[in-house]
């Protein structure tokens, strides 16, 4: 598999979709968001799919969509926050792209996702849920080729940092 996609991973609210769109514009590549592709394919929102079919079924759909997306070239792919939980997904991402992990503090994430009703895993106390989920997922982002802290940075600056790092890597086209 050619490694010629740029794949963004990270917890919800770290800016994957916003930064992904900027990257795609700058690179003149296609932008894909796994959550939006699932919604398009299934005809339901992520929240509706979580409620009706449960998280395990959603994760299966997510893996299938990811594999399909990564079979194409010259794309910036924003993955769902939990997409990295499956080892097969992590392997697929590494084999087909330059993987960038976007991070942010709990405070930043809470401020970005507060009041947004389409986050099925954040029912209840948002700060508590974010802290708990980040702690549970902490180790799964380590496979990324590059890590960026998005706190206090504009999407444009982050996109430029990622492109600069991407072009340094001889294994990527």
Give CA angle at 6 (4, 9), nearest 5°.
Answer: 140
Asked if the model's pLDDT at residue 119 lies above 70, the reply is no
Picking from 119, 65, 72, the residue whose alpha carbon sits closest to that of residue 88 is 65
Its pTM surpasses 0.95? no
What is the chain's mean pLDDT, rounded?
A: 89
CA distance 18 to 133: 22
Q: In this predicted model, what pLDDT tens digit does every residue of 59-80 receive, in sequence order?
A: 999 999 999 999 999 999 999 9
The CATH superfamily holding the domain 5-168 is: P-loop containing nucleotide triphosphate hydrolases (3.40.50.300)
- Contact of 9 with 100, CB cutoff 8 Å: yes
Element (H, E) at 95: helix 87-96
What are the boundaries of each domain within the chain? 5-168
- Contact between 158 and 148 (Cβ < 8 Å): yes
**Confidence label for 3 from pLDDT (cuts 50, 70 and 90):** low
pLDDT of residue 94: 94
pLDDT score for 124: 61
Helix axes 126-137, 106-113, angle to 10 degrees: 130
């Amino acid at each position: 598999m050619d490694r010629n996609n740029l794949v963004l991973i990270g917890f919800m609210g770290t800016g994957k979709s916003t930064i992904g769109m900027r990257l795609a514009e700058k690179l003149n590549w296609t932008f894909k968001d796994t959550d939006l592709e699932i919604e398009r394919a299934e005809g339901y929102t992520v929240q509706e799919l979580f409620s009706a079919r449960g998280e395990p079924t959603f994760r299966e759909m997510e893996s299938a969509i990811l594999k399909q997306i990564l079979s194409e070239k010259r794309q910036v792919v924003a993955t769902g926050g939990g997409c990295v939980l499956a080892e097969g997904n992590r392997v697929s991402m590494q084999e087909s792209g330059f993987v960038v992990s976007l991070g942010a503090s709990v405070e930043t994430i809470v401020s970005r996702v507060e009041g947004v009703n389409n986050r099925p895993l954040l029912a209840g106390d948002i700060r508590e849920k974010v802290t708990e989920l980040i702690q549970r997922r902490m180790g799964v982002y380590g496979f990324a080729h590059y890590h960026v802290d998005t706190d206090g940075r504009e999407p444009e600056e982050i996109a430029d940092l990622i492109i600069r790092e991407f072009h340094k890597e001889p294994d990527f086209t």
